[in-house]
Amino acid sequence: MKGMINIEYPESLANTLRLSGKDFESEIKTSSLVKLYELGKVSSGVAASVLGLSRLDFLELLAKYNVSVLCAYDTNDLEEDIANA
């Protein structure tokens, strides 16, 4: 099952970031998952899966957002990542 989130925003916001509508949507999705990972709400495996990336590609993407790979990592995350591997 898939869910969808609709967010209203002024067109000027995407323009300010110099992004097309589609690229802006992708940025919002990516930055949201990066933040959820940083807060320890989702594992790197789950975030990568939602974004259609490999776990390694997601971990490399974190550097673009200045987020540590180990920011909220605990044993539960490790167990979940092992189960998703």
Please, where are the H alpha helices in the chain?
11-16, 21-38, 44-51, 55-64, 75-84
How many residues are listed for the chain in this entry?
Answer: 85
Checking if the pLDDT of 61 tops 90, the result is yes
Domain total in the chain: 1
Q: Cα separation of 38 and 36, whole Å?
A: 5
Judge whether 52 and 66 are in contact, CB under 8 Å: no
* Structural domain includes residue 27: no
Span 24-52, pLDDT tens digits: 999 999 999 999 999 999 999 999 999 99
For residue 71, the enclosing domain spans 42-85
* Structural domain includes residue 47: yes
* Structural domain includes residue 14: no
**Mean per-residue pLDDT for 73-84?**
73
* Structural domain includes residue 31: no
Checking if the pLDDT of 66 tops 90, the result is yes
The rounded mean pLDDT for the chain is 89
Checking if the pLDDT of 71 tops 70, the result is no
Residue with tokens 């990972």: 37
